[in-house]
Amino acid sequence: MTNTVTRRRFVQQTAFTILGAGSARTYAANEKIDIGIVGVANRAKANLNGVTGENIVSLCDVDSNFLALEAGRFPRAKRYSDFRRMIGREKLDALVVSTPDHTHAVATGAGLHNGLHVYCEKPLTRTVSECRAVTELARRKKLVTQMGTQIHAGDNYRRVVELLRAGAIGTVKEVHVWVGANLGGGSRGSAKHKVPANLNYNLWLGPTRYHIPYHPTHHPFKWRQWWDFAGGTLADMGCHHIDLSHWALGLRHPSRIEVVKGPKPDAEATPYSLVVDFHYKAHGKQPATKLRWYHGKHRPPHFAEGLLPEWGNGSLFVGSKGMLLTDYDKHVLLPEKDFKHYERPKPSIPRSLGHHQEWIHAIKTGGTTTCNFDYAGPLAEVVLLGNIAHRTGAALEWEHGKMKLTGHPEAAELMQHVYRAGWHL
């Protein structure tokens, strides 16, 4: 199996192009955008709420109960269970994709290939090859995209970026990122389970490489713990937390990825805890940097040493002149006594309109977004590569430009997407 997704191969794989394709266009002042929604419940509902100021033309969900609930709020919206039919039949300008990870790429790819601007939940895709393919397609189509790392729009992240860029803690060569969440582990057993009447399970499975028997953990939430559908805690939460390091330090592509601690790899379940090192080469003024990720029971050693307050999730930037501790909403310079009289830089990064509204505004004005796929694609690839390091148990070398992953004979294969018959990217 090749470990490179070429543009020629991508075009061939999208040969099923849906009829009724939309197209990018300009908008008059106060004109509303016609949006199709793929996924309407849980996290998807929050994304739907973020764009309700526009025309919600159609709603799509494989769960008829979820679809009926939201249809009551949008009585004029057409209802679908298959996003391919929705895109083919409706005249749309944009698409919001909030499905399980394994269907992100096919839904996003269908929208982009048909000229639709796309907002897609994180992580961008389930595999590295899918991630690279949709990133390249979005760039080629010159469409407005946004990955759903909504924390990026908050004021706290902006202030942290300004502090680090101003040299508040000196030169940063080491970052620790951790979350207490555990979305992995477990076993589905051998018992057979009946598919709920409200769920179109075949469409829920979508492009999975083969038909996987239904299990209650698949829908609506715990699919995150299975490799067939997602990437566990690292894929689910890593895009939020590692985002800040990429933004503030200008990190893009790790050259080496290795697991420090974790359970024995499981063929089906994602790990309940993990520690992974991502090594980034020096670039510009930023020296070589190590980012260490922790989830589940693992945390940085600084807690045991009494150097940090008890925060459940966060990032710790270790600099030559001090440390900066932050989570989604707050941050502190450490040791606090050393920064008692520190004069903070004046805010210079403009306040966001809001993550969803930033996307809407960019569509209407021909602008761009802060988490467009050119930025978010490499970020998503990082968390996916971390999972491959765990699954192979090897230290891996990554050449982003060549899309070449070495260090284990199975590494390249784990980057690739393989779909069952009837599904294409």
Q: pLDDT tens, 192-229?
A: 999 999 999 999 999 999 999 999 999 998 999 999 99
User: How many CA within 13 A on the CB side of residue 82?
Assistant: 11
Q: Which token pair is 1?
A: 């199996």
Q: Is residue 112 part of a domain?
A: yes
Strand 256-261 vs strand 404-406: parallel, antiparallel, or unpaired? unpaired
424: Cβ–Cβ under 8 A, 6 or more apart, which residues? 13, 14, 15, 16, 106
CATH of the domain at 22: 3.40.50.720
Q: Which token pair is 40?
A: 């309407």
With H, G, I as helix, E, B as strand and everything else as coil, classify residue 283: strand
Q: Distance between CA 49 and CA 228 in Å, rounded?
A: 29
In this predicted structure, what is the pLDDT of residue 30? 87
Strand 34-38 vs strand 55-60: parallel, antiparallel, or unpaired? parallel
Q: Distance between CA 417 and CA 425 in Å, rounded?
A: 9
Strand 256-261 vs strand 94-97: parallel, antiparallel, or unpaired? unpaired
Q: Which token pair is 329?
A: 């909403």
Residue-averaged pLDDT of the chain: 94
Q: Is residue 42 part of a domain?
A: yes
Q: pLDDT digits over 58-70, tens only?
A: 999 999 999 999 9
Q: Is residue 38 part of a domain?
A: yes
User: How many CA within 13 A on the CB side of residue 209?
Assistant: 9
* Sign of torsion over alpha carbons 183, 184, 186, 192: positive
Q: Distance between CA 307 and CA 323 in Å, rounded?
A: 10
Q: Is residue 368 part of a domain?
A: yes
Q: Distance between CA 264 and CA 169 in Å, rounded?
A: 37
- The pTM assigned to this predicted structure is 0.93
Q: pLDDT digits over 347-400, tens only?
A: 999 999 999 999 999 999 999 999 999 999 999 999 999 999 999 999 999 999
The answer to whether 336 and 346 have CB atoms below 8 angstroms apart is: no
Scanning the structure block, which residue is given the tokens 């946004």? 146
Q: Is residue 51 part of a domain?
A: yes
In this predicted structure, what is the pLDDT of residue 147? 99
Q: Which token pair is 128?
A: 């590295």
Q: Is residue 177 part of a domain?
A: no
Does the pLDDT at position 335 exceed 80?
yes
* Predicted confidence band of residue 24 (pLDDT cuts 50, 70, 90): low
Q: Is residue 395 part of a domain?
A: no
Q: Is residue 133 part of a domain?
A: yes
Provide the H-helix boundaries in 217-354: 232-249
Rg of the chain on CA atoms, in Å: 21
Share of the chain above pLDDT 70, in %: 94
Angle at 226 between CA 220 and CA 228, to 5 degrees: 100
In this predicted structure, what is the pLDDT of residue 11? 34
With H, G, I as helix, E, B as strand and everything else as coil, classify residue 157: helix
Instruction: Identify which of 242, 325, 313 has the alpha carbon closest to the alpha carbon of residue 280.
Output: 242
312: Cβ–Cβ under 8 A, 6 or more apart, which residues? 179, 180, 327
Domain count within the chain: 1
Domain that holds residue 40: 7-152+354-373+408-414
